[in-house]
Amino acid sequence: MILKYLALASLVILYSLMFVGGYISAAGLGLTCPEWPLCPNGIMPDDEYFIEWVHRTVAATTGVFILATTIGAWINKDAGRKIKFTSAFASALVVTQITLGAIVIDTKLHAVLVAIHLGIGILLFAMVLLTVLFAFRLGKPVLHTNA
């Protein structure tokens, strides 16, 4: 029961994160916070680092939700192979994406790495979306048609 809401929350937070990421990129704010993992002022940064700080904080929150969804899928006895795969793949992608985010900063927004960051984000969204769909089907009878 909780699994589907955990998966849905992951999807909503991830969508918001990608929205913020797109804004940072389009507004040219990618290097406003040049340090990693914290911005120069620490946990609560100045206004100038705010948008980058939001992206990192929401990324960490997304990571926690996606990992929790994966654990939920793997311990749920009704869960099949598909949801176990999509959730585990999403977890691997989110860890990769957060690591890549740090490298993107370190390489001063290397164009290829920013493109890969976007590509992994889209793949991650697809995996979390599939996980939500499978989670909402859990426990429902499977219909077989002759068509």
Residues of this chain that bind ligand HEM (CB under 6 A): 17-18, 21-22, 24-25, 30, 55-56, 59, 62, 94, 97-98, 101-102, 104-105, 109, 114, 117-118, 121, 124
Which of residues 97 and 131 has its CB atom nearest to ligand HEM in the complex? 97
Which of residues 50 and 137 has its CB atom nearest to ligand HEM in the complex? 50
Rounded to a whole number of angstroms, the minimum distance from the CB of residue 100 to ligand HEM is 7
Rounded to a whole number of angstroms, the minimum distance from the CB of residue 112 to ligand HEM is 11
Rounded to a whole number of angstroms, the minimum distance from the CB of residue 70 to ligand HEM is 14
Which of residues 72 and 121 has its CB atom nearest to ligand HEM in the complex? 121
Which of residues 61 and 76 has its CB atom nearest to ligand HEM in the complex? 61
Rounded to a whole number of angstroms, the minimum distance from the CB of residue 5 to ligand HEM is 19
Cβ-contact 24, 55 below 8 angstroms:
yes
User: Which candidate, 15, 142, 25, places its Cα nearest to that of 82?
Assistant: 142
Q: Report d(CA 122, CA 119) in Å as an integer.
A: 5
Q: Report d(CA 98, CA 60) in Å as an integer.
A: 8
32-63 burial: b if 16+ Cβ within 10 Å, else e: bbeeeeebeeeeebeeebebbbbbbebbebbb
Q: Report d(CA 89, CA 82) in Å as an integer.
A: 11
